[in-house]
Chains A and B, each alone.
Chain A
Amino acid sequence: MKRNNKNIMKIHKKRKWGYIGLVYISPWIIGFLVFQFYPIVASLIYSFTDFDMMGNANFVALKNYIYMFTKDRDFYNSLKVTFLYVFYAVPLKLAFALAVAMILNARLKAINIFRTVYYLPSIFGGSVATALLWRFLFMREGAMNNLLAVFGLPDAGWLSSPKLALFTLSLLTVWQFGSSMVLFLAGLQQIPGELYEAAKIDGASRIRTFFKITIPLLSPIIFFNMVMQTVNSFQEFTGAFVITNRGPLNSTYLYVMKLYYEGFQYFKMGYACALSWILFAIIITVTLIAFKTSKSWVFYTSGGGR
């Protein structure tokens, strides 16, 4: 009897100890409710109104969404521009990061210095300073055109040509390939050297080794980088806003920039909320598709992948 009591006490004590956890996470719970959950719900509700920041919010049912898909030509343009941006930036950045990581993976001295140098641009993230630098380098009188002139080539219109401007912007994010590179490098270092030796003995070519060993073993990291970069690229704003703004013929009018203009310049807050939900839906859909297709090409060795 006494012993039983003691056990119950023990369980009680353990449970009580566990409940203390709730106290520790309580700041997050409050923060989540106020700064995340409420805004999400509010955003959804606003998206069905014509809220304009002056305090008037009338329920307009699906009008925002209908307008978006039937009348707003900028909407389709922004979608196109954003998808194109993702399409330029993500593969280029990943390919570049992987290539550099493979070179750095060679056992050379002073590799840390190179890694540091290659990483350096990445610490500036989406800063205004690097965006200004890009503008400065690629503007009409800028260094890149001067360089072309040395070879007798004309002004490429890096930022002024509707065809090229978006690509020039995506180069800025490719330049900041550091964190993808670091992850690839960590992945490459985990691939057992014996695999390559065995392949060499079997007479496999380098290209074959790359596609049959490196890529499959690295696929969880490739996948992770791909998803993260895609999600980030869909939300690109600062670079485009500072360098070209809407760009020639709205060719760099990215989706989040449109959202900013609708919400904070034209004060169509309700409409901007509707736009943000479409963006959210697109990002979720693309991520889900990535996860679905990943089963066919991402290999998780036991304990290997993240």
Chain B
Amino acid sequence: MKKKVYIKKFIQYTFLIILGLVIIYPLLWLFFSSFKVDNEEIFGSLNLIPAKWTLDGYINGFKGSGQYGFDLFFLNTFILVVPTVFFTIISSTIVAYGFARFEFPLKKILFSLMLATLMLPNAVVIIPRYILFNYFKWIDTYYPFIVPAAFAGSAFFVFMMVQFLRGIPIELDESAKIDGCNSFVILLRILLPLCKPALFSMGIFQFIWTWNDFFNPMIFINSTYKFTVSLALRMTQDTATIVIWNQVLAMSVLTLVPCIFIFFISQKYFVEGIATTGLKA
């Protein structure tokens, strides 16, 4: 009987490990190939591990092919992503507080409107937004990302925060109110400390989505010296006639590193974030 259980476990684990290898294999291939010497080795050999490790891909790739190196593109991406994340957290929390804790006229309609924008495809609004931002002289700047974030542009995060705030007992607010706290102090002193997990989840998701976004930067940013890493990576495919793959792969690895780093230090929030709000991608 006991033996049977062991065999079953053995089969289950074997299967899980093989499946894990299949899933992770493309990433391993990416990682190891970025240390290979040249295209010939990358495409000619089936070995996963490089015959001779080299950092050429990283060194030459980082310099970039044109005038600008990846140091600039990384810096640009941070300049775009960090304020976007920061303002998303602040604005979404404030707006969610308004929806979760106050009764005012038209609240239901406004809340439904906000939820409806969750279903609105980006493609429908992208052209008028481009025209609008062009009118504001915001094209080729990072304002099209940062300003909407400051005005709670992502309904997903507002909704996530509302859900979270609803889970916090309202008695806490009420007793603070009796003690004479005004509404902003209640948010700041009482609710925010309790919201930490949700704030983390929000920051993590927004960081990763903005970091990986390609469509919007491609539309709103034209000048090479303002490119984000995703635009710069895409550029490697059309500038050179012969693609030097170890450089492309090395830079791909580097752009994935911040996401991997965040994922591993904050896994708990990741899974919770998905499980509690039930969303996305």
Given the known A-B contacts A19-B104, A137-B29, are A128 and B214 also in contact in the complex, defined by CB atoms under 8 Å?
Answer: yes
Report the minimal beta-carbon distance from A114 to chain B, rounded to whole angstroms: 5
- A260–B216 alpha-carbon span in the complex (Å): 11
- Contact, CB under 8 Å: B103 / A18: yes
Interface size on B, residues (CB 8 A): 86
- A137–B256 alpha-carbon span in the complex (Å): 17
| A235 surroundings in chain B (CB, below 8 A) | 121-123
How does the 8 Å CB contact mask read for A256-268 relative to B, with 1 for contact and 0 for none?
1001100110000
The 8 Å CB contact of B124, one of A43, A123, A143, is A43
| A256 surroundings in chain B (CB, below 8 A) | 123
- Contact of A289 with B by CB under 8 A: no
| B234 surroundings in chain A (CB, below 8 A) | 128, 242
The interface size bin for chain A is 35 or more
- Contact, CB under 8 Å: B103 / A21: yes
Given the known A-B contacts A19-B104, A132-B233, A231-B119, are A127 and B43 also in contact in the complex, defined by CB atoms under 8 Å?
Answer: no
- Contact of B53 with A by CB under 8 A: no
- Residue of A128, A142, A231 with highest tally of chain B CB at under 10 A: A128
- Contact of B278 with A by CB under 8 A: yes
- A265–B259 alpha-carbon span in the complex (Å): 31
- Contact, CB under 8 Å: B98 / A22: yes
- Contact of A179 with B by CB under 8 A: yes
Please tell me which stretch of A193-201, A207-215, A269-277 contacts chain B, meaning at least 4 of its Cβ atoms lie within 8 angstroms of it.
A269-277
- Contact, CB under 8 Å: A20 / B24: no
- Contact of B127 with A by CB under 8 A: yes
- Contact of B208 with A by CB under 8 A: yes
| A31 surroundings in chain B (CB, below 8 A) | 91, 148, 150-153
| B158 surroundings in chain A (CB, below 8 A) | 28
**Chain B: CB-nearest residue to A185:** B275
**Chain B: CB-nearest residue to A172:** B26
| B95 surroundings in chain A (CB, below 8 A) | 24-25, 27-28
- A266–B13 alpha-carbon span in the complex (Å): 54
Please tell me which stretch of A4-12, A33-41, A59-67 contacts chain B, meaning at least 4 of its Cβ atoms lie within 8 angstroms of it.
A33-41
- Contact of A30 with B by CB under 8 A: yes
- Contact, CB under 8 Å: B124 / A280: yes
- Contact, CB under 8 Å: A129 / B255: yes
| A147 surroundings in chain B (CB, below 8 A) | 46
The 8 Å CB contact of B150, one of A22, A27, A137, is A27
- Contact of A234 with B by CB under 8 A: yes
- Residue of B24, B98, B177 with highest tally of chain A CB at under 10 A: B98
Report the minimal beta-carbon distance from A188 to chain B, rounded to whole angstroms: 12
| B33 surroundings in chain A (CB, below 8 A) | 136
- Contact, CB under 8 Å: A179 / B281: yes
**Chain B: CB-nearest residue to A117:** B20
Report the minimal beta-carbon distance from B179 to chain A, rounded to whole angstroms: 15
- A296–B252 alpha-carbon span in the complex (Å): 46
| A273 surroundings in chain B (CB, below 8 A) | 127-128
| A153 surroundings in chain B (CB, below 8 A) | none
| B213 surroundings in chain A (CB, below 8 A) | 126
- Contact, CB under 8 Å: A269 / B131: yes
- Contact, CB under 8 Å: A29 / B279: no
Given the known A-B contacts A103-B16, A146-B43, are A179 and B26 also in contact in the complex, defined by CB atoms under 8 Å?
Answer: no
- Contact, CB under 8 Å: A36 / B278: no
- Contact of A253 with B by CB under 8 A: no
How does the 8 Å CB contact mask read for B205-229 relative to A, with 1 for contact and 0 for none?
0001101111100010000000001
21 interchain pairs (CB within 8 A)? A20-B102, A21-B107, A22-B98, A25-B98, A25-B99, A31-B148, A35-B125, A35-B153, A38-B128, A39-B124, A120-B24, A125-B281, A127-B211, A127-B256, A128-B214, A128-B230, A132-B252, A133-B26, A146-B43, A182-B275, A237-B215
Knowing that A34-B132, A126-B214 touch, tell me 12 more A-B residue pairs with CB under 8 angstroms.
A19-B104, A22-B98, A28-B91, A28-B114, A31-B150, A36-B125, A103-B19, A123-B270, A125-B208, A125-B209, A127-B255, A235-B121
